[in-house]
């Protein structure tokens, strides 16, 4: 081949490769940890990734670690590996292991998040790891302390911060079923975004929020909504979870949503 054609051809091929790379954003690498007591994690392990895949313009590569146990005190082997969160852009915690107080074990779960790995915390994650002397460290990660919940009933999700990008543009919605968690403490780096009223006490309780955790101000999105599958399958819920994941990973929310 004539050398006079090689340089322009190489340039064109390089531009085409660059154009392709720019047109295809790198996927978000998400780890979903699920399992434990009291919930239908067999279905929710499917619902959460499907919700985000339906609502996010950005591709998401999911790794699912589903612990098929109903025990509330199961120690998971992968959490004992200090590198358990390596390679992930975000960890989605949808688990229910309340009866664990092992300090080293809990520290091992928190360390990657202290180091900067963002998180989504769903429903019973707020009731996890509360049996030992370091329970408050987990609550600080969550951004709230929830000591329990009331009877199951549908409730209106009332947006109280419509300027934060996570919920900006969304409207209030009502869940078909619900298990409203009581919130006793909201930590200083937490910003409440929505609340609902307890039919039992008449009090309002935060149930959607964002938090900045630890010295690195790691982004943590939390919601206590999500006991029932039919609630998770609502269009508003799926959008809310997707918005939380986009925010936690540092992506502009509005421009990366499928409307």
Q: What is the pLDDT of residues 49-96, one digit of tens each?
A: 999 999 999 999 999 999 888 999 999 999 999 999 999 999 999 999
Answering whether pTM is above 0.85, one says yes
What structural domains does the chain harbor? 26-256 (3.40.50.880)
The per-residue pLDDT for range 218-245, each reduced to its tens digit, is 999 999 999 999 999 999 999 999 999 9
Band (pLDDT 50/70/90 cuts) for residue 20 is: very low
Band (pLDDT 50/70/90 cuts) for residue 9 is: very low
Report the pLDDT value the prediction gives residue 28, as an integer from 0 to 100.
98
DSSP 106-120: HHHHHHHHHTT--EE
Report the pLDDT value the prediction gives residue 22, as an integer from 0 to 100.
54
What Rg, from alpha-carbon coordinates, does the chain have? 20
Phi-psi region of 63 (alpha: psi -120 to 50; beta: other; left: phi over 0): beta
The Cα 255–Cα 258 span in angstroms is: 8
Q: What percent of the chain has pLDDT over 70?
A: 91
- Token pair for 175: 């869940």
Report the pLDDT value the prediction gives residue 25, as an integer from 0 to 100.
87
Query: 192 φ, ψ to 5°?
Result: -65, 140
Pairing mode of beta strands 204-213, 218-223: antiparallel
Task: Work out the average pLDDT over 131-155.
Answer: 96
Band (pLDDT 50/70/90 cuts) for residue 3 is: low
Report the pLDDT value the prediction gives residue 69, as an integer from 0 to 100.
87
**Considering the chain, what is the average pLDDT of its residues?**
93
Q: Is 90 exposed, middle or buried (0-12, 13-18, 19+ CB in 10 A)?
A: buried
- Which residues fall within 8 angstroms of residue 82, CB to CB, at 6 or more apart? 108, 111
The per-residue pLDDT for range 173-212, each reduced to its tens digit, is 999 999 999 999 999 999 999 999 999 999 999 999 999 9
Report the pLDDT value the prediction gives residue 21, as an integer from 0 to 100.
47
Task: Work out the average pLDDT over 158-175.
Answer: 98
């Amino acid at each position: 081949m004539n050398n006079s054609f090689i340089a322009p051809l190489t340039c064109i091929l390089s531009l085409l490769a660059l154009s392709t790379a720019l047109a295809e954003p790198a996927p978000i690498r998400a780890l979903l940890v699920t399992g434990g007591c009291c919930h239908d994690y067999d279905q929710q392990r499917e619902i959460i990734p499907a919700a985000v895949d339906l609502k996010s313009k950005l591709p998401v590569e999911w790794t699912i670690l589903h612990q098929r146990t109903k025990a509330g005190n199961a120690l998971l082997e992968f959490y004992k590996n200090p590198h358990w969160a390596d390679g992930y852009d975000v960890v989605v915690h949808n688990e229910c292991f309340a009866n664990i107080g092992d300090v080293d074990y809990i520290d091992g779960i928190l360390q990657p998040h202290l180091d900067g790995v963002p998180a989504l915390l769903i429903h019973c994650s707020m009731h996890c790891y509360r049996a030992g002397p370091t329970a408050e460290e987990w609550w600080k990660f969550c951004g709230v302390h929830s000591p329990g919940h009331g009877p199951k009933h549908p409730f209106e999700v009332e947006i109280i911060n419509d300027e934060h990008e996570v919920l900006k543009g969304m409207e209030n919605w009502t869940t078909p079923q619900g298990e409203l968690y009581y919130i006793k403490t909201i930590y200083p780096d937490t910003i409440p975004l929505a609340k609902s009223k307890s039919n039992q006490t008449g009090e309002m309780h935060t149930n959607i929020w964002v938090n900045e955790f630890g010295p690195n101000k790691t982004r943590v999105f939390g919601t206590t909504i999500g006991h029932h599958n039919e609630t998770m399958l609502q269009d508003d819920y799926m959008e809310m979870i997707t918005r939380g994941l986009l925010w936690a990973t540092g992506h502009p929310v509005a421009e990366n949503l499928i409307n």
